[in-house]
């Protein structure tokens, strides 16, 4: 690997001229690769590093390999960022197949770039501030001023921008264009800045943090339609069953008592119910009923009652800025005098959904934080807290922990739990009369009381219902069983669930290949977060590219028009862009992905998603990976943990290994509505498999938390 005219030449002293002449006559491995691609069309499919698997270098040329390719170990010579153009050449060789010259390597989208570094930047393989300017220029061309402001807010919240003020001034006129129709220039600027402040405020940030001018007045939102809200609340109330009504009325009464300074002893509640019993439906009624009484949805500008719906610890981390991983000594980084604290104090009701997944230390840190910012020495500073969930489902994830340690981390082991008033929902609202057998079977599965196999093999395993079993054992059988009889419109409501992340990624790629259309590939820019050059040198870029930690997008992100994707970060909770939101790709641009939301309160809305900076600290790696990539993944398959809280028309469960966590099998089955909607494929192991016509797998349940 060498730059143009910089190949190594070996010679004995005094023979320099002859050595240079020989070098001009013979190709190096790299220049011979260029010539191979010029004459051999098939070779253009391979990256330079993979050529030795298919060709052999003989007499200064690459020739077709006849045998032995499976025994080859191929690698590129290393290069460090300090080596300049040689380092950038190496990056291009890792990503550009079929180059026919050095100029060909520096060409992208028909444009020849003067340096290898600029070619890397154009391909998005390096991290540079110019990308943000290019992103905003593209959004200004294809999107609305509203979308431009939202994208600018995403960049501020999730990317390390060196000069945010210049970026704002460059695109200011495009961002205020719609406001100028009804406002003067200064008012339009204030309105745009207020919009941006509202989005970055969800991450606990302010305009002044980025050197942007603060707004003189807080942004004003349009008042709620109280008549419409009242009609919706009445309609929902008329369909609530007695269990739901008791819980809702008690919680609403508690909130109103606190708001009116009336005595109210109990302010902590838990709605306990399996999937399909209407927990979310009950939350929606509570929220609408509070709003119809003249209360406003809480923002940093308004006082009054509001309900903030949080999901299973993931949104909790974002809103309360908890450290990850969460331990007993964790605290919330929310200063009492901050705008974030003011916003939190203005809310009188918090709803934590999927609370069974929240580690007790997280909730205890939030509880301590509320005491601190309110200066009130009562639980949660006197706030009304509504928790909801199902302890049959997945408990907090504690890596490499024993069952007793997982139970100890559970919410029920917290000092808060004895003060919680529990409401139990038992009537399955999701299943029809002919589906009650499935609902009852699910409860037995979740409670761990299904009959188990008494003899070997697969002792103490449960039997998978016959109607759910996929008998074929070929690689594609689970894909065909779920997606084989559907069209693109059906794909959005179907899913394959599996215990581990790597298998979900593989299944997604298989399904993408079944979708018609051309694949568009987006490569990430990866680096190690460190100031130590020696540590950075330990992890070459191709190694960073090869890993995909849980919760991260892949380096090589492949998409097609019409593909179903899932958001991996909270971008804008208020407008429905939160971790787990599913979307359908409408357009694939260089800097943004245009997609339509298909789940949640913002269903049907078109959004533009830019690349952002992702650098999680809980990946289990010995270093911190920084990846600049679109925060999305394909969503035809996902881990069972990620699926919690969602419902699908058809569910495939692929158990390449037994479920390894409390409640995983229960969660997987409860994503569907009936036995007919579930298809299960078991990979034969020592712990699970087939005995004659029956299929068995373990089911791990920690009964002490039920």
* 59-72 per-residue burial string, b: 16 or more CB within 10 A, e: under 16: eeebeeeeeeeeee
d(CA 47, CA 36): 12
CA 374 to CA 357: how far, in whole Å?
A: 26
* CA 10 to each of CA 19, 20, 57, 60: distance values in angstroms, whole numbers, following the listed order: 7, 9, 19, 15
| Edge-first strand listing for the sheet containing 637-639 | 637-639, 494-498, 650-655, 678-682
Provide the Cα torsion 27, 29, 31, 33; round to 10°.
Answer: 120
| 114 has a pLDDT exceeding 70 | yes
Report the C-alpha gap between 412 and 236 in whole angstroms.
31
**Rounded distance between C-alpha atoms, residue 57 and residue 188, angstroms:** 65
Mean pLDDT value across residues 558-586: 92
Instruction: Compute the distance between CA of residue 584 and CA of residue 580 in angstroms, rounded to an integer.
Output: 13
Separation CA 290–CA 349 (nearest Å): 10
Cα separation values, 403 from 88, 326, 394, 398, 686, Å: 48, 18, 12, 10, 21
Residue 650 has pLDDT above 90, yes or no: yes
Each residue's pLDDT tens digit, 574-612 = 888 988 899 999 999 999 999 999 987 788 999 999 999
Other C-beta atoms closer than 10 Å to the C-beta of 593 total 24
- The per-residue pLDDT for 11 is 59
Show contacts of 179-184: CB within 8 Å, 24+ apart. 179/145
Are 192 and 175 within 8 A, CB to CB? Answer: yes
Which region among 113-127, 146-160, 251-265, 358-372 has the lowest average model confidence (pLDDT)? 251-265
Q: For 162-171, 271-280, 301-310, which range has the lowest pLDDT when averaged over its residues?
A: 301-310
Q: Residue 17 — very low, low, confident or very high, per pLDDT cuts 50/70/90? A: low
- Does 303 score more than 50 pLDDT? no
Question: Cα-flanking dihedrals φ and ψ of residue 395, to 5°?
Answer: -90, 175
What is the reported pLDDT for 301? 23
Write out pLDDT tens, residues 684-697. 999 999 998 899 99
Counting residues of the chain whose pLDDT is more than 90, the rounded percentage is 57
Closest to 650 (Cα-Cα) out of 673, 628, 631: 673
- Structure token digits, residue 243: 């269990």
Is there a cis peptide before residue 698, judged by omega within 30 degrees of 0?
no
| Distance (Å, whole) CA 163 – CA 149 | 17
Confidence band for 313, pLDDT divided at 50, 70 and 90: low
Q: Could you give the percent of the chain with pLDDT greater than 70?
A: 91
Instruction: Copy the structure tokens of residue 661.
Output: 């966590």
At 363, which helix (H) or strand (E)? helix 360-374
Question: Would the pLDDT of 241 be above 80?
Answer: yes
678 token code pair? 């579930």
pLDDT value for 305: 43
Which residues, in sequence order, are bridge partners of residue 627?
526, 614
Beta bridge partners of 269: 386, 421
Angle, in degrees to the nearest 10, between helices 164-175 and 185-200: 120
Average pLDDT over residues 404-430: 92
> pTM of the full predicted structure?
0.85
**Six token digits for residue 171:** 């695109």
How does pLDDT run across 215-227, given as a tens digit for each residue? 876 555 556 677 8
What residues contact residue 149 under an 8 Å CB cut-off, 6+ apart? 175, 192, 195, 196
Query: What is the pLDDT confidence band of residue 370, given thresholds at 50, 70 and 90?
Result: very high
- List C-alpha distances in Å: 202 to 105, 159, 168, 608: 42, 15, 19, 18
Helices and strands counted in the chain (H then E): 24, 26
On average, the pLDDT of the chain sits at 87
Q: What integer pLDDT is reported at residue 347 of this predicted model?
A: 80
Quick one: pLDDT at residue 76? 84
The pLDDT tens digits for 29-63 are: 899 999 999 999 999 999 999 999 999 998 889 99
More confident residue, 359 or 485: 359
Q: What are phi and psi of 697, to 5 degrees?
A: -150, 150
Q: What is the dihedral of CA 249, 251, 256, 261, to 10 degrees?
A: 130
**Both tokens assigned to 388:** 């909801």
How far apart CA 474 and CA 483 sit, in angstroms, is: 15
Residue 669 tokens read as 């089955």
Does pLDDT of 65 surpass 70?
yes
Cross-sheet strand order for the sheet of 632-634: 606-610, 592-597, 582-588, 564-567, 632-634
Q: What is the 8-class DSSP label of residue 531?
A: S
Which pLDDT does position 310 carry in this prediction? 61
- In this predicted structure, what is the pLDDT of residue 299? 28
Residues facing residue 271 across a β-bridge: 388, 423
Considering only 2-6, 350-354, 666-670, which range has the smallest mean pLDDT? Answer: 2-6
- Give mean pLDDT, residues 494-501: 95
667-691 average pLDDT score: 93
> So what's the pLDDT on residue 297?
34
Contacts of 50 (CB under 8 A, 6+ apart): 74
pLDDT band at 461 (very low <50, low <70, confident <90, very high): very high
């Amino acid at each position: 690997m060498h730059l143009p005219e910089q190949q190594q030449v070996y010679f004995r002293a005094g023979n320099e001229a002859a050595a240079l002449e020989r070098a001009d006559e013979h190709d190096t491995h790299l220049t011979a690769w260029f010539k191979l691609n010029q004459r051999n069309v098939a070779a253009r499919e391979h990256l330079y590093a993979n050529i030795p698997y298919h060709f052999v270098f003989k007499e200064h040329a690459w020739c077709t390999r006849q045998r032995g390719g499976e025994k080859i170990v191929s690698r590129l010579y290393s290069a460090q960022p300090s080596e300049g153009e040689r380092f950038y050449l190496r990056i291009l060789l890792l990503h550009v197949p079929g180059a026919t010259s050095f100029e060909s390597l520096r060409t992208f989208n028909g444009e020849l770039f003067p340096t290898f570094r600029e070619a890397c930047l154009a391909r998005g393989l390096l991290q540079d501030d110019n990308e943000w300017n290019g992103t905003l220029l593209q959004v200004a061309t294809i999107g609305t001023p509203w979308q431009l402001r939202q994208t600018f807010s995403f960049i501020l919240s999730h990317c390390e921008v060196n000069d945010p003020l210049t970026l704002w001034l460059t695109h200011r006129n495009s961002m205020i264009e719609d406001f100028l129709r009804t406002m003067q220039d200064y008012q339009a600027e204030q309105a745009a800045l207020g919009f941006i402040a509202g989005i970055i405020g969800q991450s606990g940030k302010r305009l002044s943090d980025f050197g942007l001018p603060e707004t003189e007045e807080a942004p004003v939102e349009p008042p709620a339609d109280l008549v419409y809200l009242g009609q919706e609340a009445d309609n929902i109330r008329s369909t609530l069953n007695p269990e739901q009504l008791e819980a809702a009325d008690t919680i609403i009464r508690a909130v109103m008592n606190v708001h009116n300074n009336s005595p109210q002893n109990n302010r902590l509640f838990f709605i306990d119910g399996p999937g399909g019993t209407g927990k979310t439906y009950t939350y929606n009624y509570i929220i609408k009923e509070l709003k119809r009484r003249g209360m406003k949805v809480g923002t940093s500008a308004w006082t009054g009652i509001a309900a903030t719906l949080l999901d299973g610890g993931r949104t909790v981390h974002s809103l309360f800025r908890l450290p990850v991983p969460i331990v007993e000594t964790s605290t919330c980084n929310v200063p009492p005098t901050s705008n974030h604290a003011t916003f939190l104090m203005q809310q009188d009701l918090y709803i934590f959904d999927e609370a069974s997944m929240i580690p007790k230390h997280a909730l205890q840190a939030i509880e301590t934080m509320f005491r601190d910012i309110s200066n009130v020495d009562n639980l949660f500073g006197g706030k009304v807290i509504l928790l909801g969930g199902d302890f049959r489902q997945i408990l907090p994830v504690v890596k490499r922990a024993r069952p007793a340690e997982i139970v100890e981390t559970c919410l029920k082991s917290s000092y808060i739990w004895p003060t919680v008033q529990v409401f139990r929902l038992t009537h399955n609202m999701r299943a029809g009369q002919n589906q009650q057998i499935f609902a009852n079977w699910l409860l037995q599965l979740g409670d761990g009381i299904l009959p188990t196999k008494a003899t070997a093999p697969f002792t103490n395993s449960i039997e998978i219902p016959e109607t759910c079993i996929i008998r074929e054992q070929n690689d594609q059988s689970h894909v065909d069983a779920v997606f084989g009889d559907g069209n693109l419109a059906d794909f959005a409501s179907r899913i394959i669930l599996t215990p581990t992340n790597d298998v979900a990624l593989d299944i997604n790629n298989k399904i993408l290949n079944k979708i018609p259309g051309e694949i568009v590939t987006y490569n990430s820019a990866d680096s190690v977060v460190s100031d130590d050059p020696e540590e950075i040198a330990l992890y070459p870029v191709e190694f960073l590219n090869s890993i995909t930690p849980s919760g991260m997008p892949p380096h090589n992100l492949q998409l097609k028009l019409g593909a179903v994707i899932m958001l991996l970060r909270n971008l804008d909770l208020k407008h429905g862009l939160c971790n787990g939101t599913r979307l359908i790709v409408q357009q694939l641009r260089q800097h943004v992905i245009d997609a339509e939301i298909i789940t949640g309160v913002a269903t049907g809305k078109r959004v533009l998603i830019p690349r952002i900076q992702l650098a999680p600290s809980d990946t289990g790696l010995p270093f911190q990976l920084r990846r600049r990539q679109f925060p999305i993944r394909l969503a035809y398959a996902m881990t069972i943990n990620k699926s919690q809280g969602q419902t699908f028309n058809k569910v495939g469960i692929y158990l390449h290994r037994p479920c390894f966590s409390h409640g995983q099998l229960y969660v997987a089955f409860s994503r569907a509505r009936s036995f007919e909607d579930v298809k299960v494929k078991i990979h034969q192991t020592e712990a699970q498999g087939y005995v004659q016509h029956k299929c068995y797998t373990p089911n791990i349940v920690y009964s002490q938390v039920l």
